[in-house]
Amino acid sequence: MQLKDFKLERYFGIHEFTAKYLLSSSDCDGYTMQDVLNTATVDELERWNKLQLGYTESEGNPLLRQAIRPFYKNADLDNILVASPGELNFVLMNTLLTANDHVIAIAPSYQSLHEVARSIGCAMSYWLPDEQTWEYEPEQLECLIQENTKLIIINFPHNPTGAYLSEAVLLRIVEIARTHGIYIFSDEMYHKLTVGELPTLPPIQDVYEKGISLWGTSKTFGLAGLRTGWLVTQDKTVLRKILAFKDYLSICNSAPSEILSIIALNHIEQFLDPNLEKIKRNIQYFQEFADAHTDYVRFIPPKAGSTAFVELHIPETSLVFSDKMVAETGIMTVPAEMFGFDGTYIRVGFGRAILPEILERFSDYLKTNYTA
Ligand SMILES: Cc1ncc(COP(=O)(O)O)c(C=O)c1O
């Protein structure tokens, strides 16, 4: 297995904690420890204060899985497995796939969604959107299927484009996969971050017996520091294999993170509602910015999620642009190259309260350095 560098994470590794302004974060502002504990009931607080810092259940604290269960249909505790999102993605691919398999992955995408499968030796095909609309067509997905296609990897709400589907289109994808006996891994890290017209999609595990859903606390809840994620699927064999693999990695989760995650899940609206309002407001701000800067940017507002992929009218690559801007202004952007995508795009994130201030500086920078 030869994993290539995770470009996006390496780029964040260089700039995230030194750049003054982050224009491209996909998560919402992180809540504080106090925010979480303030929402806790008396019982939850007691559980927190009396928490013993020993090992916890490998599958995830049963109370945490109990808190996750109501978000899914027909899920028992043994349909749920908790670990960090990246670990779950990595282990799922390594237990489900071999070098003889063909995999179809949504693109552009968060690199681990395709790189792990590629590193295992799988033949890869990429399901691409229409660049004018960021729409993904199920018919194009169907054309990519081969005899040995084992897995389809999707991600809606989509990072980075903000693409989303209607339920009818999701069910069409399920029908296609079912006809060919293909698993669907659905990265639902941005689940419920839906401020557009399309209603929230059901998790794939609710609508497909070979569907595997991934969600966690990083994006929807604004609690990335907990590192909590979970897989839910009706296919318990898949989960059993992942659990056996996990014994070689984290073994179990961080006990304090599990308790804080339980509190967050039990009071989801306290975390989600302010995030939705912030994202909605910031999309409006960015729309006004884009309207006032049509010579510089082309903006397709996200249909869901917390990010958009914005085209810049610049004479250089987006990597050169991003490197220069962070050096000269302290504004960090994520260029298209971090998603292995051609074109002069940058990701813009809507989950941070500071966005309007960044946009003022971004506007000055564009007007000073680029001709309209
Ligand atoms: C689509 C997608 N999946 C998975 C992850 C990983 O989530 P986490 O940061 O909680 O490990 C991210 C993070 O940006 C993401 O955008």
Q: Please state the rounded mean pLDDT for residues 104-109.
A: 98
The ligand 1 atom nearest the CA atom of 228? 10
Q: What is the pLDDT of residue 113?
A: 98
Interatomic CA distance for residues 24 and 8, integer angstroms:
11
Question: Which residue reads 């607080």 in tokens?
Answer: 45
Under 8 Å between Cβ of 154 and 201: no
Q: What is the pLDDT of residue 311?
A: 98
Q: Where a domain ends, among 226, 252, 267?
A: 267
Q: 51 pLDDT band (50/70/90 cuts)?
A: very high
- 92 is a domain residue: yes
Q: Where a domain ends, among 232, 267, 302?
A: 267
CB atoms within 10 A of CB 301: 16
**What is the domain-level CATH number for residue 301?**
3.90.1150.10
- 194 is a domain residue: yes
Q: What is the pLDDT of residue 32?
A: 98
Same domain, 249 and 323: no
Interatomic CA distance for residues 335 and 310, integer angstroms:
10
**What is the domain-level CATH number for residue 172?**
3.40.640.10
Same domain, 279 and 149: no
- 102 is a domain residue: yes
Q: What is the pLDDT of residue 1?
A: 79
Q: 372 pLDDT band (50/70/90 cuts)?
A: confident
Residue among 7, 12, 189, 214 whose CB has most ligand 1 atoms within 8 A, to mutate:
189
Same domain, 170 and 181: yes
Same domain, 236 and 320: no
Between the CA of 348 and the centroid of ligand 1 the distance, in Å, is 15
Q: What region does 246 belong to: left with phi over 0, alpha with psi -120 to 50, or beta?
A: alpha
Between the CA of 232 and the centroid of ligand 1 the distance, in Å, is 16
- Evaluate: CB of 230 within 6 angstroms of ligand 1: no
pTM of the model: 0.98
Q: What single-letter amino acid sits at 193?
A: L
Q: Where a domain ends, among 218, 241, 267?
A: 267
Same domain, 179 and 86: yes
Which range of residues forms the domain containing residue 293?
Answer: 7-32+269-369
Peptide bond into 202 cis (omega under 30): no
- 38 is a domain residue: no
- Evaluate: CB of 220 within 6 angstroms of ligand 1: no
The DSSP code for 295 is: T
What proportion of the chain, given as a percentage, has pLDDT over 90?
A: 99
Residue whose C-alpha is closest to residue 138's, from 164, 185, 173: 173
- Evaluate: CB of 258 within 6 angstroms of ligand 1: no
Q: Tens digit of pLDDT for each residue in 267-285?
A: 999 999 999 999 999 999 9
- 47 is a domain residue: no
Asked whether residue 371 carries a pLDDT value surpassing 90, the answer given is no
Q: Please state the rounded mean pLDDT for residues 104-121.
A: 98
Residue among 27, 159, 215, 352 whose CB has most ligand 1 atoms within 8 A, to mutate:
159
Same domain, 250 and 105: yes
Between the CA of 72 and the centroid of ligand 1 the distance, in Å, is 20
Biggest CA-to-CA distance, the chain? 61
Under 8 Å between Cβ of 68 and 230: yes
Q: Please state the rounded mean pLDDT for residues 119-141.
A: 98
Residue whose C-alpha is closest to residue 197's, from 279, 294, 303: 303
Same domain, 141 and 273: no
Q: Tens digit of pLDDT for each residue in 7-34?
A: 999 999 999 999 999 999 999 999 999 9
Residue whose C-alpha is closest to residue 114's, from 93, 138, 95, 137: 93
Q: Tens digit of pLDDT for each residue in 183-226?
A: 999 999 999 999 999 999 999 999 999 999 999 999 999 999 99
Interatomic CA distance for residues 230 and 228, integer angstroms:
7
- 291 is a domain residue: yes
- 163 is a domain residue: yes
Same domain, 179 and 263: yes
Q: What is the pLDDT of residue 365?
A: 98
- 2 is a domain residue: no
Q: 242 pLDDT band (50/70/90 cuts)?
A: very high
Same domain, 205 and 257: yes
Q: Mean pLDDT of all residues in the chain?
A: 98
Between the CA of 147 and the centroid of ligand 1 the distance, in Å, is 30
Same domain, 278 and 263: no
Domain count along the chain: 2
Strands 211-216, 183-187: pairing is: parallel
Q: What is the pLDDT of residue 249?
A: 97
CA dihedral 298, 304, 307, 308 (to 10 degrees): -10
C-alpha 217, offset from chain centre: 10
